[in-house]
Amino acid sequence: MRTGFKKAALKTAKWFGITLASLLLLLFLLPIIFPGTVAEQIKTFANKKIDGELNFSKSRLSFFNHFPSLTVTLYDFSLKGSAPYKNDTLVAAEEVAFGINLKRLIFDNEVRIDKIFLSESFVNVKINEKGQANYNVYISDSKKAPDTISNTSVKLEKIDISNCHLRYEDKSLKMLVNANGFNYLGKGDLSKSIFDLKSEAEIDSIDFVYDNKSYLLRKKITADLITSINTNSLAFQFQKNDLVVNKLPIKFKGKLNILKSGYAIDFEANSLNSNLRDLFTALPPEYVTWLDKTDVKGKIDLKLAFKGNYNAAANQNPTLSFGMKIDEGYIQYNKAPFPASDIRMNFLAVLPSMDTDRLRVRLDSLHFNLGKDALHAYVDISGLSKPRIKASVKAGMDLEKLDQALGLSTIDLKGRLDADVVSNGVYDPDKKTFPVTKGKVLLRNGYLKTSYYPNPITDINLDLNALNTTGSYQSTTVSIKPAAFTFEGKPFSVDASFTDFNDVAYDIKAKGTIDVGRIYKVFSQQGIDVTGFIKADLHLKGKQSYATNGQYAKLDNSGTLLIRNIKATSDQFPKPFRISEGAFTFTREKMNFDKFLANYGQSDFNVNGHLINAINYFFAKNATLHGNFSVKSNLVNVNEFMALAPAEKAQTDPSVKSAEAKNPTQSGVVLLPENLDVSLTANAKQVVYDKLNIQDLNGTVGISKGKFTMRNAGFELIGCRVAIDATYDDVSPVKAGFDVRLRARDFDVKRAYNEIQLFHDLVTAADKAEGIISLDYRLNGTLDGNMAPIYPSLLGEGTLSLRKVKIKGLRMFTVISKKTGSDGVDNPDLTRVDIRTSIKDNVIYVHRTRMGVALFRLRFEGKTNFDGQLNLKMRLGLPPFGVIGIPFTITGTQDNPKIKIFSKKTEETESTDYKGGMIVPNKALKSDLENDSGGKK
C-alpha cells in the first residue's frame, strides 16, 4: 500500500514537474517564437492608427514584466499630441506595456491588445479655448481604409497606471488638475458602447484650480468608483463613488449627459456626520502644521449639488447649492486658556440658474463661546443688486483671546470688540428703501499685525452707530465717532455723521496721513503695484441739495487733501491712471485742483481748475460732476484709451466684456462717462491717433453726458495749421458717432495722401498729384470698432482748393487726351481751382467745376463712390475761348476709365444705405445732379 502510494506520488510529481517545466519553457519560447510578429504588427498598427509623433528606444516581449500577462514593453516611450498641440508631449513614460491576448496570438495569429500598463510617466492633456484637445491621436476605422496590412486590434479590458504625473488643463472650462503620484487601476470592456468602468485610484498630491482659484492644493485622494458609460449618447452615470480627501470621506452620485448644445447634469456630493478635524486635513497644506498643535472636535455635514441644463444659446444654466452644518465644535490652539467652544453653524448658499440676482445665502445660526465671551449671528440675504436682508449679530469678546484660541498664524489681534446689530428689509437705491436697522459696533484699543509687514496698526478705535426706523432713505442715520488708527507713528482719524439719505446731511472731519503702499502690505504680499500716500485735513459739512440748488453759502467745506503716487482704475478705460501728485483745496462748493500731475499709459496730464458738486457726486448714484479745467500735456496717445485696447486689468464692465468677447480683433472706441460735465482749455504738444501724429493741439474741449465737443481748436499736421470743430459720441464699446469740420490751408497734397488715411480714401486722384492745396470740409458719420469711419454712413460737403497742382500719370487724363486728340490734357497744371463735393450713401457727388488746362477749358460734374466707380460728365472747351466744346462721359474705374466722345449719357452709380447700423445696398442713382445744374452745358 505504501509502495503504491509512493509510486503514485512520484508519478504525480513527475508529471507536475514536466508540466511546470513545459510552462516555463513556453514562457521563454513564446517571446522568442513571436517577437518579430508582435513587434512588427504593433509598429504597423501604431503607424496606421496613431496620428502623432511616437518614439521609443527599444521593445521587449515577456511574461515576466506584468505576470501572468504576455506584454510587449516599449522603453523611453513618448507620444506627441494632435492639433493644435502637435509639438507638445501628450504621454512620456519610462515604460509602456501592452497586454496581448495569448489565445488570439497562438490560434489566430492576431495581436489583440487588451491591457495597458503605464509606469513612471507624464500624461499631459490639453484643451484650448475652442474645445480642441491634444488627445485625438487615435484614427478610427471610419477615417481610414480597412486594415489589410496588420492583424492588430485594441479591445481594452484593463488600464494600470503607476506613479504617474497627470496634468489636465481645459482652457474652455478654465479648469486645471495637476496630480502627482497618480496610481490607477481600471477594469471594464472599453470596446463596448455601453459598459461599467470599475476604478481604483490613489493620488499622493493633487491640485484643482477653477477660474484661477485653487480649490484643492497638494491633497491626497483615494477613490473607489463605478461609472456606467454610454458612448453612443455620451452619458455618464456615477453609481458607486467613494472618495477620501486626506482624511475627509466624500460620497457622490449623479449623472452627466452631453447634449448637442450643452449638457444636462444631476450631481450630488456629501460628507455626512464626519469629524470636524478631518475637514481641516482637506484644506491647503499650511493648515497641517496648525492642526498638529490644535485640538479640534465636533461633527460636520457637507453637501454640494449641481443640477440642471447648460445651454448658452437658450441662456440656461444649472443651479448650484452648497451647505455646511457644524455641531458641538471645539477649537483650542496650543492649549490656549480660552478655547472656542460650543461652535454651531448652519450655512446654506443657493445660486439658481447661476443668476446672482437670485442668490440666497442663509446662515441660520453661528455661535461660539470664548470663555465668558460669545458670538451669536443670523444672516439671510436674497439677491445682490437689491438684496433683501435679515440679520442679527451680537458679540462681545477679547480679540486677543480669539487669536489665541484659533491660532491665527498670519495675524495678531488685540482689542475689545462689542457689536449689537439687527437689520431687516430691502436695500433698493432705485426705490430708496433701506432695511430697518438698529446697530452699534464698538472697537477699543485695537491692534493689528500681519506676517506681511513688520510694523502693526495700533490705537484702532471705532464707534459706529446706525439707525433706520421706517425702512426709508429719509430715516437713515449713520455716525462714526471716531474711526481712528496709528500707523508708522502717524495718526489718522475720521469723525462723520450722515442723516436723511434722500438729501444727505453730512458732517465729516478727516485728519492725518495714510501711507497707502505700506498699509496695503499689512494685508497682502510684498511686490504688489500699490504705492503712495494720502494726507488730509478736511472739514466737509452741508447737504446734497445745497450744491444742486445753488445754495453755496450754506456749505461749510474747507481744508486740504494731498495725494502722491496713487493708481486709480475705471471700468471705462483699459489702463489705470497713475497720479504722481495731487494737491486739492475745498472751499464751499468747489474742489480746487491746485496741482494735479497724472499719467495714463504713455499720456501725461498737468491739470489745474476746479470741480463743482463733488460731494453730491459721491453720495448720489446718478449725480453729474461739473468742472472747469486747464490741461497741458506733452503727449496724448488716443489709441490707449480705446475700450478694447490691451488692458492691465480684467474688464468688469458687462458691455465692455461682451464686446471684447465678440470682437477679439478690434480695439474698440473711446468710452466717455455719462455723469461728467466739464470744460477744458487743452494744450497738447503731441497727439497720436491711429497713425496720425498731431502737433501743438490747442482749443476748448467739453465732455458732457458722454459726448465730446471741440471748439475753435487748431493743430499742426503734415506741415500746415488745421482748424477744427468736432463732436464725438460713443454708442457702444465698438461704435461711435462723429461730426467734424476741418479747415486746412496750403498743405502738400502728396504728403496728405501718404499720411492721412481718410484723405487717401476720399481723394484717390491725389496719388498722381503734386503741389499745394487747401481744404474746407464738413463730415459726419459712424466709427467702427477700430475707430475707423464706416464709409456708407458718411455725410459731408466741402471744397478742395487747388492753388498750384500738377497731375502726372493719371490714367483718366491720359485717356481723355488720347480720345480727344488734345495735347496738354494728359499731365495738366491746375491753378486756382475749387472743387466742391458732397458725400452720401457711399457716393461722392462732384458738383460742376471749371478749370483751365493748357489752352483748353475743362468742365466736369458727376459721381464716384468709395468702391472706385466713375460716373462723370465732362466738356472740353477748345481754344481760343472754349465756345466750341467736345462733350464726353467717363465711366468704369479710375484705373480703367471708359470714355465716350460726344456723349452726355452716363451709367448708374451704385450707392449704399447705412440705416440702423446696417449697410444696405441701394438702388443705383441716376447720373444727373438734380439740384446743381447751374451754368452753361
- Which distant-in-sequence residues (6+ apart) come within 8 Å of 49 by Cβ? 138, 139, 144, 154
Diameter of the chain by CA atoms? 152
Strands 625-633 and 676-689 turn out to be parallel
DSSP state of 768: G
Helices (H), strands (E): how many in the chain? 13, 46
C-alpha cell at 667: 480695439
pLDDT value of position 428: 92
* Euclidean distance between CA atoms 483 and 509, whole angstroms: 11
CB 435 within 8 A of CB 389: yes
pLDDT value of position 618: 75
C-alpha cell at 829: 497744371
2-33 and 35-49 are packed helices; what angle lies between their axes, rounded to 10 degrees?
A: 50
- Which distant-in-sequence residues (6+ apart) come within 8 Å of 181 by Cβ? 163, 164, 202, 203, 204, 205
Long-range contacts of 253-260 (CB under 8 A, 24+ apart): 257/233, 258/233, 258/234, 259/309, 259/311
Q: How many CA atoms lie within 13 A of 410 on its CB side?
A: 9
CB 28 within 8 A of CB 21: no
pLDDT value of position 483: 94
**The one-letter amino acid at 661:** A
* Euclidean distance between CA atoms 437 and 218, whole angstroms: 45
DSSP reduced 3-state for 192: coil
* Euclidean distance between CA atoms 55 and 53, whole angstroms: 7
Angle in degrees, CA 132, 135, 141, rounded to 5: 100
* E strand or H helix at 256: strand 248-259
Q: How many CA atoms lie within 13 A of 729 on its CB side?
A: 9
- One-character DSSP codes across 787-828: S-B-GGG-EEEEEEEEEEEEE-S-HHHHHHHHHHT-TTSSS-
Nearest Cα residue to 926 out of 902, 909, 904, 901: 909
DSSP state of 811: H
Handedness of CA 746, 750, 751, 753 (dihedral sign): positive
pLDDT value of position 491: 95
pLDDT value of position 27: 45
Residues lower than pLDDT 50 in the chain? 19-20, 22-36, 142-150, 152, 527-528, 647-652, 918-937
pLDDT value of position 145: 41
DSSP state of 917: T
DSSP state of 433: B
Nearest Cα residue to 659 out of 737, 568, 567, 730: 730
SS (H, E, C) 304-318: EEEEEEEECCCCECC
* Euclidean distance between CA atoms 181 and 860, whole angstroms: 84
Give the C-alpha distances (Å, rounded to integers) separating 92 from 41, 62, 139, 216.
22, 21, 20, 25
Nearest Cα residue to 875 out of 822, 838, 925: 822
Nearest Cα residue to 762 out of 838, 650, 823: 838
Give the C-alpha distances (Å, rounded to integers) separating 585 from 134, 581, 592, 613.
62, 14, 5, 14
- One-character DSSP codes across 83-96: TT-TTSEEEEEEEE
C-alpha cell at 482: 471716531
Nearest Cα residue to 169 out of 43, 55, 85, 45: 85
Rounded (to 5) percent helix, strand, coil in the chain: 15, 60, 25
Question: Whole-prediction pTM value?
Answer: 0.65
CB atoms within 10 A of CB 298: 20
C-alpha cell at 873: 460728365
**The one-letter amino acid at 58:** K
* Euclidean distance between CA atoms 535 and 512, whole angstroms: 6
Give the C-alpha distances (Å, rounded to integers) separating 725 from 679, 713, 715, 742, 836.
15, 6, 11, 7, 20
Nearest Cα residue to 639 out of 687, 676, 696, 576: 687
CB atoms within 10 A of CB 418: 14
pLDDT value of position 922: 46
